[in-house]
Structure 1
Amino acid sequence: MLKMVLVTARDRARLKEISSVLIRYGLQDIIRLLGLGSLLSGAENGGVQQDNQTLPARLRAALEALGPTFVKFGQILATRSDLLDSSWTDELDRLHSQASTLPWSELAAQVTADLGAEPHKLFAEFDNTPLAAASMAQIYRARLHSGEAVVIKVLRPSLAKTIHADLRLLTYLAETVEQQSPTLARHRPRQMVRALATALNHELDLTHEGNNCERIAECFARQPEVAIPKIYWQWSSKRLLVQEFLPGTAPENPQQLAAAGFDGPLLAQRGAQAFMKMVLEHRLYHADPHPGNVMALAGNRVGFIDFGMVGQLSERRRNQLLLLLQSIAERESGGIVNTLIAWSDSDPLDLLDLELAAQNFLDKQASATLTLGKALTDLLVMAREHQLAMPPDLVLLFKALITADGVLHRLDPNFDIIATLKPMLQQVMLQRYAPDAVQRRMLALGAEALDAGEEIPQTLRLLMRRMKRGQIGADINVKNIDQLSKALERAAVTLAIAIVTAAFALGLAPYLMHASLRLWGIPLFPALGGLACLGGVLLLALRLRR
Structure 2
Amino acid sequence: MLKMMLVTARDRVRLTEITSVLIRYGLQDIARMLGLTTLRDTLRRDRERTQAQSMPERLRHALEELGPTFVKLGQILATRTDLLDPVWTDELEKLHSQARALPWESLAEQICEDLGAEPEQIFAEFDRTPIAAASMAQIYRARLHSGEAVVVKVLRPGLERTIRADLRLLTFLAGALEEQSSQLARYHPSQIVLGLATALNHELDLTQEASNCEQIARCFADDPQVVIPAIHWAWTSPRLMVQEFVPGMAPESPQQLIDAGLDGHILAREGARAFMEMVLEHRLWHADPHPGNVMALEGNRVGFIDFGMVGRLSERRRNQLLMMLDAIAGRQSEGIVNALIEWSGDEAIDINRFELAAQNFLDKQGSAPMKLGKALADLLAMVREFRLALPPDLALLFKALITADGVLQRLDPGFDIVATLRPMLREVVLRRYRPGGARRRLMALGAQALDAGEELPQTLRLMLRRLKMGKVNADLEIKNIGLLSRALERAAVTLAIAVVTAAFALGITPWLMESGWRIWGIPVFPLFGLLACGTGIFLLALRLRR
Smaller-chain TM-score range? 0.7 to 0.9
Distance between the aligned counterparts of 2:492 and 2:355, measured in 1?
49
Q: Structure 1 residue 346: deviation in Å?
A: 4.3
Q: Give 1:212-291 correspondences, 5 Å limit.
A: 212-291=212-291
* 1:84-129 residue CA offsets vs partner (Å, 9 max, x unmatched): 2232222223222421111111111101111111111111111111
Give the letter aligned to residue 39 of structure 2.
L
Report the Cα offset of residue 364 of structure 1.
1.4
1:422 to partner: Cα distance = 0.8
Residues 294-313 of structure 1: CA deviation (Å, up to 9, x unaligned) = 11111111111111111100
Give the aligned residue type for 2:253: N
Give 1:86's aligned residue: 86
In the other structure, the counterpart of 1:58 is 58
Match of 2:428 in 1: 428
| Displacement after TM superposition at 1:486 (Å) | 8.7
Residue 40 (structure 2) pairs with residue 47 (structure 1): no
| Deviation of 1:27 (Å) | 2.4
Q: Which residue number in structure 1 is paired with residue 68 of structure 2? A: 68
Moved more, 480-489 or 42-51: 480-489
Answer with 434-443 or 14-23: which moved more. 14-23
Structure 1 pair 346/472, CA: closer, same or farther in 2 (3 Å)?
closer
Over 3 Å counting, the alpha-carbon distance change for 1:227 and 1:102 in structure 2 is same
User: Secondary structure at the residue paired with 1:42?
Assistant: helix
2:147 matched residue in structure 1? 147
Tell me which residue corresponds to 2:361. 361
Contact kept in structure 2, 1:23 and 1:46, CA below 8 Å: no
1:43 partner SS: helix
Q: Deviations over 1:329-382 (max 9, x none)?
A: 111111100100000024322111111101111111115232211111111110
Q: Which amino acid aligns with 1:448?
A: Q
TM-score, normalisation: structure 2: 0.87
SS in structure 1 at match of 2:230? coil
**Structure 2 equivalent of residue 131 of structure 1:** 131
Distance change >3 Å, CA 493–CA 160, structure 1 → 2 = farther
Structure 2 counterpart of 1:193: 193
**Does the 8 A contact of 2:230 with 2:244 survive in 1?**
yes
Alpha-carbon deviation of 1:5?
1.8
Distance, in Å, in 1 between the alignment partners of 2:487 and 2:362 is: 50
1:279 deviation in Å?
Answer: 0.3
Question: What letter is aligned with 1:214?
Answer: E
User: Secondary structure of 1:130's partner?
Assistant: coil
What does 1:102-141 correspond to in 2, within 5 Å?
Answer: 102-141=102-141
Structure 1 unaligned regions, length at least 5:
511-533
CA contact (8 A) 1:369 1:414 kept: no
What code does the residue aligned with 1:238 have?
P
| Partner SS, residue 427 of structure 1 | helix
Check 1:330–1:9 CA distance in 2 against 1; reply closer, same or farther (3 A cut): same
Instruction: Tell me the distance in 2 between the aligned counterparts of 1:359 and 1:206.
Output: 46
Kindly state the Cα deviation for residue 173 of structure 1 after the two structures are TM-superposed.
2.0
Q: CA deviation at 1:490?
A: 10
| C-alpha contact (below 8 Å) 2:80/2:396 kept by paired residues | no
Task: For 1:361 and 1:494, locate their aligned partners in 2 and report how far apart those are by CA, in whole Å.
Answer: 54
**1:238-280, CA deviations, whole angstroms, 9 ceiling, x for partnerless residues?**
0000111111111123211210111111111101100000000
Cα RMSD for the two superposed structures: 3.2
SS at the partner of 2:462?
Answer: helix
SS of the equivalent of 2:140 reads strand
Partners in 1 of 2:471 and 2:22 — Cα distance? 60
Alpha carbons 1:79, 1:377 under 8 Å: kept:
no
Aligned residue type for 2:389: A
Q: Bigger shift: 176-185 or 329-338?
A: 176-185
Contact residue 19 and residue 36 of structure 2 kept, 8 A: no
Compare 364-373 and 470-479 and name the one that shifted more: 470-479
- Give distance in 2, aligned partners of 1:472 and 1:495: 37
Q: What is the CA–CA distance in structure 2 between the aligned matches of 1:169 and 1:229, rounded to whole Å?
A: 37
- Bigger shift: residues 10-19 or 211-220: 10-19
Deviates more, 1:199-208 or 1:169-178: 169-178
| Contact kept? 2:24, 2:42, Cα under 8 Å | no
Contact 1:187–1:391 (8 Å) recurs in 2: no
**Are the aligned partners of 2:344 and 2:389 in contact in 1 as well (CA < 8 Å)?**
yes
Distance 1:12 1:484, change over 3 A: farther
Matches of 2:408 and 2:79 in 1, distance apart?
18
Deviation of 1:456 after TM superposition, in Å, equals 2.2
Which residue type is aligned with residue 43 of structure 1? Answer: T
Deviation at 1:407, TM superposition (A): 1.0
Cα distance between partner residues in 2 of 1:298 and 1:5:
59
Q: Could you say what secondary structure the match of 1:29 adopts?
A: helix
Q: Which residue of 2 aligns with 1:307?
A: 307
Q: What residue number does 1:342 align with?
A: 342
> C-alpha displacement at 1:325, in angstroms?
0.8
Using the TM superposition, give the Cα deviation of residue 496 of structure 1 relative to its aligned residue in structure 2, in angstroms: 12
Q: Tell me the alpha carbon deviations over residues 39-85 of structure 1, each in whole angstroms, 9 at most, x when there is no partner.
A: 33333302252233222222222222222222222223223333222
Q: CA deviation at 1:169?
A: 2.0
- Quote how far apart the aligned CAs of 1:498 are: 13
Moved more, 242-251 or 488-497: 488-497
Question: Hey, what's the Cα distance between the residues in 2 that align with 1:392 and 1:498?
Answer: 59
Counterpart of 2:86, as a letter, is: S
Alignment match, 1:523: none
Alpha-carbon offset, residue 234 of structure 1: 0.8
User: What is the CA deviation profile of residues 113-155 of structure 1, one whole-angstrom value per residue up to 9, with x for unaligned ones?
Assistant: 1111111111111111111111100001111111111111000
Q: Measure the CA separation in 2 of the matches of 1:153 and 1:492.
A: 76
Displacement, 1:481? 6.1
1:418 is matched with: 418
Q: In structure 1, the residue corresponding to 2:43 is in which secondary structure?
A: coil
How many pairs were matched up? Answer: 523
Amino acid at match of 1:44: L
Instruction: Give the direction of change, closer, same or farther, for the CA distance of 1:106–1:404 in structure 2 (3 Å limit).
Output: same
What is the rounded CA distance, in whole Å, between the counterparts of 2:29 and 2:475 in structure 1? 45
The whole-number CA distance in structure 1 between the counterparts of 2:326 and 2:487 is 53
Is this contact kept in 1: 2:34–2:173, CA < 8 A?
no
- What is the percentage of aligned positions where both structures have the same residue? 68
Q: Which stretches in structure 2 are left out of the alignment for 5+ residues?
A: 508-531
Q: How far apart are the structure 1 equivalents of 2:97 and 2:357? A: 37
Partner of 1:222, secondary structure, is coil
2:373/2:405 contact within 8 Å kept? yes
SS of residue in 2 equivalent to 1:422? helix
1:392 matched to which residue of 2? 392
Is the CA contact (8 Å cut-off) linking 2:26 and 2:43 kept in structure 1?
A: no
CA deviations on 1:372-426 (whole Å, 9 max, x unpaired) are 1111111111011112222222221122111111111111111111011011111
Which residue pairs with 2:333 in the alignment? Answer: 333
Secondary structure, aligned partner of 1:94: helix
* Distance of aligned partners of 1:220 and 1:372 in 2 relative to their CA distance in 1, 3 Å threshold: same
CA distance in 2, matches of 1:90, 1:171: 25
Task: Give the distance between the partners of 1:440 and 1:382, measured in 2 at CA.
Answer: 37
d(CA) in 2 for partners of 1:215, 1:307:
10
> Could you tell me how far apart the structure 2 residues matched to 1:333 and 1:456 are?
41
Contact residue 252 and residue 410 of structure 1 kept, 8 A: yes
Determine the C-alpha separation between the residues in 1 that align with 2:5 and 2:490: 39
Q: 1:491 and 1:362 mapped to 2: Cα distance?
A: 53
Rounded to whole Å, the distance in 2 between the matches of 1:200 and 1:134 is 14
SS of the residue 1:50 aligns to: helix
User: SS of 1:243's equivalent?
Assistant: strand
Alpha-carbon distance in 1 for matches of 2:290, 2:224 = 22
What's 1:472 paired with? 472
Q: How far is the alpha carbon of 1:485 from its aligned partner?
A: 7.7
